[in-house]
């Protein structure tokens, strides 16, 4: 890949900021005609990064770099927490729905006893 095709963004503190800044940099560089971009990140992180590009309307593909096994468990837990945070509204509604079902079932079970 030619070096002029590589865009490095180093001002952000999280994935969403990084992708927003990259979208802005691409718009400045190519006038918004960049086409599909390639997001290169850790292999455990590709899924969430591509979810964010979709939310931002950035056409993208992803490639994951290998992560050492000793770091994988920590990375997996961190990614899961970040994914749940990203989908906070959905998981809040799901938790409330499950709680309601549980309370209704518990009340129904108590009424039968």
pTM of the predicted structure, to 2 decimals: 0.61
Task: Name the strand (E) or helix (H) holding 22.
Answer: helix 15-30
Q: Is residue 87 part of a domain?
A: no
With cut-offs at 50, 70 and 90, classify the pLDDT of residue 103.
Answer: confident
Q: Is residue 30 part of a domain?
A: yes
Taking only the tens place, the pLDDT of each residue in 50-85 is 988 998 888 899 998 887 777 777 777 887 888 788
Average pLDDT of the segment spanning 18-22: 87
Q: Which domain holds residue 31?
A: 3-66
Domain count, the chain: 1
**pLDDT at res. 61:** 92
Quote the Cα angle for 73-56-97, to 5°.
65
Contacts 24+ apart (CB under 8 A), 12-18: 15/41, 15/45, 15/48, 15/49, 15/52, 15/82, 16/52, 16/56
Confidence check: pLDDT of 102 > 80: yes
**pLDDT at res. 112:** 66
Task: Name the strand (E) or helix (H) holding 62.
Answer: strand 60-65
Cβ pair 95, 73 in contact under 8 A: no
């Amino acid at each position: 890949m030619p070096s002029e095709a590589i865009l490095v963004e180093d001002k952000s503190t999280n994935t969403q900021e990084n992708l927003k800044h990259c979208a802005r940099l691409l718009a400045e560089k190519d006038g918004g005609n960049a086409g599909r971009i390639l997001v290169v990140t850790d292999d455990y992180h590709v899924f969430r990064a591509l979810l964010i590009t979709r939310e931002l309307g950035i056409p993208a593909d992803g490639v994951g770099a290998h992560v050492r096994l000793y770091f994988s468990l920590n990375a997996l837990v961190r990614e899961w927490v970040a994914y749940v945070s990203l989908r906070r509204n959905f998981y809040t509604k799901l938790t409330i729905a499950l709680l309601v079902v549980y309370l209704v079932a518990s009340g129904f079970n108590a009424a039968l006893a």
